Structure 1
Amino acid sequence: MTVKGVDVSSYQSSSFSTKDLDFAIVKATEGTSYLNPRMHAQASHARDAGLVVGFYHFLRPGSVKDQAKYFVEKAAERAGDPLFADWEDADVSCAAKDDFLAEVQRLRGADHRVGLYCNRDFWLNRDTTSEAGDALWIADYVTAGKPRIKAAWKFHQYTDSPLDTNVGRFADAAALRSWAEGGGGKSLGALADEGFQVSGAED
């Protein structure tokens, strides 16, 4: 079983359809100066529909500590909202990605799950540590729930039409909410210790 959700940014309406959705992940920030002007409205819209709400920060080159601080100060988050690094810029190294995750976990990890979004190419060819915090959110436009990686993913973005649409690896919406509200904790390294395959190798 899986749950379904979308991710939205300023390119999407503040009143996007929430029909048959369990979660929405909203772009909050980018670098140290950009703030999604629709973030508050989009998050409120999703909350009003009963969805689990998360936020993401688009990583740019530069101080990851400054970016993490900007993200957690500006995101319209509440305790229990998952927070994600969006790693798509080829000029941001794997080490910088890891440092950003660690800093967000330091700042907010007690009350939030902290995870990583990236596409399959970045995961297989740019990542060298398999570090994704509490959750790997992988983009691979194939059948929903069947991303072509062996890692212990939590969310799968499988299409961008008509919106970026995702499934989550949870039995139902209640399980997703319980996980989200559990606070931070297990990195992929910890999951590996429990027997999960977490390498970036292709199936």
Structure 2
Amino acid sequence: MLFAAIATVGMTGVAHAADGVPGVDVSNWTGDIDWASVVAGGGKFAFVQATEGADYTNPRFSAQYDGAAAAGLIRGAYHFAQPHETDGATQADYFLQHGGNWVSDGRTLPGVVDMEDNPYKDTNGKNNCYDLSPEDMVTWLKDFTKKYYESTGRHAIIYTTTSWWQTCTGNSAKFKSNPLWLARWGSDPGELPKGWKKHTFWQSADKGPLVGGGNTFNGSESQLATLANPPASVTVSGQARNRKTYTVTINNTGPHPVKDIKLSGRAFGGQNVVRAPGCDVSGTAVRCTVAELPRGQKKTFTFTTKPRKSTGTVGMYVTVGSVKLTLKSR
């Protein structure tokens, strides 16, 4: 018996570029923004604060977020975490409902969760880690990022400093799937938090040359566009359960619905396909079509064959797009 699985996946990281692509980050404190001047100054993207905790929304969010898009910038929203107030899933849901949702328009970056030193120590009496243990902080982040991924199909970007990450998460390596937006003001990014081999964004100054914070994307403009609008991604797996039964599962693991998926199969080893619900069968051949597979959904096909002999190797060749599987049984 042979199990085979081949995946075609979207981009989860970016290549290094010497200078990077410039961009900005803004909040209510930035005020009204002349986005045309940001574009004229070379800016290509903008992050706009949408929410904080589970009860604050940036009153200028719509104007800033829509203004960035109208000027032709790729834009994204960020959430300033208050992990001592509510659990991560609750704050992710609040973020999603108030501007942080990712949409497949080719201009929207995945949402950001901003994890940094507690700025309200004098009022809330908490330490820089909001009085959470590293274990509890990791749990909070897992809850936030899981909720965001389940809702959008995108991995949330994590904004943090290396020192905060080391102290408040115990330098956790459990978030390598989430793009890193590193905050380190200076001439180079320096040491990265554990789990990341590269940063995706770098905030090198709290006040940049354009407006708000000074940032660069660690890659090319085309890679930035791909991060905003990644390709469709599906996983195809198959199994020979016995000499007469074979299954193939197509799983949409990407952020987009996938349409018109074609599956073709051919039995070998002296056998015919005798049953394939939802498919067309002719002798050794079978053809199936999935009109549309929504994000996060999967479709399983089951094929039943009739071998001519009780011994020897039998199986099926299956093709789905560029993926080819060979399923064998003895």
Fold-level similarity (TM above 0.5): yes
Conserved in 1, the CA contact under 8 Å of 2:165 and 2:172?
A: no
Instruction: Give 1:5's aligned residue.
Output: 23
Counterpart of 2:67, as a letter, is H
Q: 1:134 to 1:33 in 2, by over 3 A?
A: same
Tell which deviates more after alignment, 113-122 or 3-12.
Answer: 113-122
Question: What's the % identity of the aligned pairs?
Answer: 27
Q: How does 1:26-175 map to 2 (within 5 A)?
A: 26-60=48-82, 61=84, 62-75=86-99, 77=101, 78-79=103-104, 80-88=108-116, 89=118, 90-91=129-130, 93-109=137-153, 112-127=154-169, 128-130=171-173, 131=175, 133-144=177-188, 146-149=189-192, 151=196, 152-162=198-208, 163-171=212-220, 173-175=221-223
Asked if the contact 1:116–1:132 (Cα under 8 Å) also holds between the matched residues in 2, the reply is no
Query: How many equivalent pairs are there?
Result: 182
> C-alpha offsets along residues 92-143 of structure 1, whole Å, 9 cap, x if unaligned?
523212221111111112xx44210011211233233221543000101121
> For 2:219 and 2:227, how far apart are their aligned partners in 1?
9
Q: Distance in 2 between matches of 1:39 and 1:86?
A: 16
Contact 2:109-2:227 within 8 A present in 1 as well:
no
How far apart, CA to CA, are the structure 2 residues paired with 1:161 and 1:34? 23
Question: What's the secondary structure of 2:33's corresponding residue?
Answer: coil
- In 1: Cα distance, 2:176 partner to 2:78 partner: 13
**Structure with a larger share of its residues in strand:** 2
Cα 1:126/1:63, change in 2 over 3 Å: closer
Comparing both structures, which one devotes a greater share of its residues to helix? 1
Q: Deviations over 1:30-76 (max 9, x none)?
A: 11110001111111111122111011111112122111111001116
Give the secondary-structure state (helix, strand or coil) at the position aligned to 1:54.
strand
Distance 2:172 2:100 in 1: 30
The answer for unaligned runs of 5 or more in structure 1 is 187-203
User: RMSD over aligned Cα, in angstroms?
Assistant: 2.3
List alignment gaps of at least 5 residues for structure 2.
1-16, 119-128, 234-252, 255-330
Question: 1:161 offset after TM fit, Å?
Answer: 1.9
